[in-house]
Chains A and B, each alone.
Chain A
Amino acid sequence: MWSRFATPVGMNRRHFMSHMAGAATMMGASLSLGHSLRVHADTLKKNRKSCVLLWMGGGPSSMDIWDLKPGTDNGGPFKTISTSGDVEICEHMPLMAKQMHHMAIVRSMSTREADHNRGRYYMHTGYVPDANVDYPSYGAVIAHELMVQRPELEIPPFVSVGGASEGPGFLGMSWAPFSVSSNGRVRNLEMSLAKDRLMQRQIALKTIEDSFIGQKRGGVVEDHRKVLGKTFDLLTSAQMQAFEVDKEPKEVKEKYGENNFGQGCLLARRLVEAGVPFVEVDLGGWDNHQGIFRTLENDRLPVLDRAMASLTEDLEQRGLLQDTVIVWMGEFGRTPRINADAGRDHWARAWSVVVGGGGIKGGQAVGGTNEDGTEITGDPYSSEDLMASVCHALGISLETTFTSKSGRPMKIANSGKIIKDLFT
């Protein structure tokens, strides 16, 4: 990637060289642009895959959305509705009900992290927080693995929309989430500088960078160079049009919902179409310790329902759903018991996530919970298992092992087991 730092795409190199013959020698390394991968680009393009993670910050009450217990003490006021699949979901998700034949509900998630920060980290990485190793998140891992399918991609392979996601861990800052607001606006992108002048600055910068990097000042310094290279790519890339979500027709914007999450999901669709392997869209506000049913019915569920259903439907209509995995999850579920403030508290022992696309068998529920929703029935599934299943659906080998610079091996998805029922 760093070679791009010296030769940004779309620049007139010859023009600049005529001015700066002396500088040209420094660019020797950059001339070997020819990626061997490029040869196979056409084949790879045909089966390129993507993942969209819908992240529900705060820990949504999955038993009020995907695994209802109507009529029980814990069940709350919501009723179920039937769907296009072989499952029932919450009555306040009518649009998703029509898409459920594409989606599978994993109803027996059982984890142990009921703190927001720990839960967010665990669900994003497959590892519990560890003071000694900084694990890479879903987005970094998947982008890292799938980038090989798309050497032509100039926009960052891991885009985080309207939220924060988790970092790249030991994979380094060049795999960090590229955070944009849900309207796709990228700050400070417009650089009103002639291209050859930008390139001249780039060469001056590279000269200063190189001397410092040569002095063994640590991995963060080398990462800086990679990030600079990607930034130069962005500045000059026509692919950045994918972010212009405002250019969508009004009715499309309305269909997704004219709110941050709706527009974020629409942006996610555009990014998948542009070939971005991993997009995370953030919808917070699920930490409902008080007045949960009012919040869900009037606010969170309508927002979620429109956007998630539109995304699913659009990807399917464009023939992209078979190669795109959609994951819906938060850091944990919420207590079956309704508390004194008409809310639910943190509960990791029995909860649901939803996955679909990428060859996952939709319309079904995998696993389940007991009558009052307090315990799972059947096999428990973990963050690792979910991550392994998503990787599998994306065609990433579970034998993949990362090695940190200190030589510590890390199995992808922390050796999780594929949730078999999703694929049969």
Chain B
Amino acid sequence: MPLAAWVVLAGTFVPGAVGAEKPGAVTLPPQVEKIDLAMQAGWADAGVKPSPVEDELKWCRRVYLDLIGRIPSFEELAEFAKDKAPSKKLNLVQKLLNDDRYTEEYANHWGTVWTNVLIGRNGGMEDRTLTDRSGMQKYLRDCFARNKPYNDMVYELVTATGSTKPGTEGFNGATNFLAMKVNEEDGTQATAAVSRIFLGLQVQCTQCHNHPFNQWKQQKFWEFNAFFRQTRALRKFVAGTRDVDHAELINQDFAGEGGRPDQAEIYFQLRNGLTKVAYPVFIDGTEIGKSGFVEQVNRREELGQLMMQSPFLDKAIVNRMWSHFLGYGFTKPIDDLGPHSPTSFPELFEELSSDFRNTSYDLKQLMVWITMSQPYQLSSRMTSNNETDDPSQGETPKFSHFYTRQMSAEQLFQSLAVATQANRKGSLEEQARRRDEWMKQFVVAFGTDEGDETTTFNGSIPQSLMMFNGELIREAISTDPGSWLGSIAQQKGSVAEKVQILFLTGLGRRPRSEELSIANQLLVARKNDMGGMLQDMWWAILNSNEFIFNH
């Protein structure tokens, strides 16, 4: 695109467009009003006042980041700025959710988010792994591309059988969630992950003893664990070698630890040394048949059915999604819904959860409710009337302003691709592989059997060094022939016009006068080398907090 065209587009960013929207002119789902009323009541009770509504372009940046995992391009921002309809915000959300142009990115983004939830950032990269990361991603991308109802997705993940690896016979990507979690230690990791991720119940501490702060007792842990005892991940070798090629998740008859398959029981030990017996019993006390023969009782399918009935299923997902968009959930941590966990806005939380069930677990609807709600419109600038609402300081979140937070490493990766018009070449698999490869440098494992991990991409020095100096940034600020920055440098146009394009693209705003003046001084320091100056400015923009944070 010639610079002149950029400049014309930039003209569409007319200040003062805020307020063009008349409230009430747009028909929104009733849940939006439900959220708004609950929030307003909560703010009044807490004696805080909400921040003003955020500038539209910044809201636009926010919604791109949260819905499809990257910032908007310059053209996309201009398209939004041009829309003068009262329903422009809803239009944008609907477009990102439903327009064919965005299906792939939407699916890729949510596939990535859920891959990290289900198998971690390191999943599939461990020594002797049975997880096929690309298989997991493929399955999840398909779910989101088709907007598969959430409950169906959970059911499939919990009951999956088949091969983990794309291209093999009987491939079922959903198997990758449990493949590494069922074999070792009697499936205790499968037990802990399924209950924590899908039901918001943290049971891992009750494995060995009754926990004083947890409603779950040790007996319950092993009763839940009994559902996974018919499941094995079989290693499939590369023909003629001892190298594991992939795994196959199967159900097989479980003889029980007492040696009676028709009453297949398991044993566990209390801390006083006493041994007790457990059979599969769901968290609400529902028992299923005790037989270990798969033909008589398929334990994982029974579990899947019982989970579908559980109100914890609804709450866990609503909490997770709320936290995705607003920075904090109704409970902290989001996957701990036990009675010991204080809840903010408990009635709203309950209602949204049951509404979600009643709308057939349509995730896109839930996203509309949240992104169109008042708390999601608010500025991240705190005011003197809501400074106390700071969950990072231990306060219960009141959502009276948007909580500034760092982009995830994946969001940053995709955003840099957009911000630099770097060709997003290759298949989705290839893109994901490249991103995963890049991510690896930030992932640190904890050295336990449970595969716990953390990321150093969290605002610390390794992240800064990467942003100062990493390969991705060097690509982003390249002025080589064919590069985005290079083409802007080459074209005719004023310094101000060029710098403006950088600021709008990177930060969704025009440069301030002091920023323009820096650009001019840099041009002098660069001895009128326009490319060099743009490089310096673009480097500074990409490294700034305003770029790195979702705000």
Contact = CB atoms under 8 A, between A and B. Distances in A.
Contact of B521 (A22, A188, A282): A22
A389 B448 CA distance: 27
Contact of A212 (B333, B452, B545): B545
A227 B390 contact: no
B490 interface: no
Interface in B336-395: 336, 341-342, 380-383, 387-388, 390, 392-395
Interface in A130-182: 131-134, 156, 163-164, 167, 170, 173, 176-179
A362 interface: no
Contacts of A287: 447-450
B446 A204 contact: no
A215 to B, nearest CB: 5
Interface string A216-248: 111111011101101100110000000000000
Contact of B522 (A115, A132, A156, A200): A200
A337 B548 CA distance: 51
Contacts of A133: 394
A207 B549 CA distance: 17
Given A114-B208, A114-B209, A220-B392, A176 B382 contact: no
B287 interface: no
Contacts of B444: 163-164, 179
Interface in A276-295: 282-287, 289
Contacts of B470: 187-188
Contacts of B404: 217-218, 220-221
A355 interface: no
B185 interface: yes
A220 B545 CA distance: 9
A132 B448 contact: no
A188 B551 CA distance: 27
A173 B460 contact: yes
B208 A406 contact: no
B52 interface: no
Given A201-B536, A212-B544, A173 B459 contact: yes
Contacts of A117: 204, 452
Contacts, number: 218
A273 interface: no
B185 A20 contact: no
Contacts of B342: 131-132
B392 A134 contact: yes
A116 interface: yes
Interface string A108-136: 00000111111010000000000111100
Contact of B549 (A23, A221, A286): A221
B447 A188 contact: no
Given A164-B444, A219-B392, A224-B459, A58 B468 contact: no
B449 A58 contact: yes
B205 interface: yes
Given A116-B450, A133-B394, A211-B512, A204 B209 contact: no
Contacts of A200: 522, 525, 536
A178 B460 contact: yes
B422 interface: no
A178 B540 contact: no
B380 A208 contact: no
A213 interface: yes
A11 interface: no
B454 interface: yes
B551 A217 contact: yes
A196 B524 CA distance: 13
A26 to B, nearest CB: 8
A220 B406 contact: yes
A313 interface: no
A47 interface: no
A316 interface: no
B469 interface: yes
Nearest to B551: A217
Contact of B540 (A19, A20, A205): A205
Contacts of A170: 392-394
B61 to A, nearest CB: 13
Interface in B437-476: 441, 444-450, 452-454, 456, 458-466, 468-470
A207 B466 contact: no
A191 B469 contact: yes
19 contacts: A20-B521, A132-B332, A170-B393, A173-B460, A178-B462, A205-B539, A205-B544, A217-B545, A218-B390, A218-B392, A224-B459, A224-B548, A231-B461, A284-B447, A287-B448, A289-B184, A289-B185, A337-B273, A406-B388
Interface of A: 16, 19-20, 22-23, 26, 57-59, 113-118, 120, 131-134, 156, 163-164, 167, 170, 173, 176-179, 186-191, 196-197, 200-201, 203-205, 207-209, 211-213, 215-221, 223-225, 227-228, 230-231, 234-235, 282-287, 289, 337, 345-346, 404-406, 408
- What 5 A-B pairs come out closest when comparing CB atoms? A284-B447, A57-B447, A406-B393, A204-B540, A231-B464
Given A176-B458, A209-B546, A406-B393, 14 more contacts: A116-B448, A131-B342, A163-B444, A164-B446, A164-B453, A187-B466, A201-B540, A204-B537, A205-B539, A208-B507, A208-B544, A213-B545, A218-B404, A408-B393
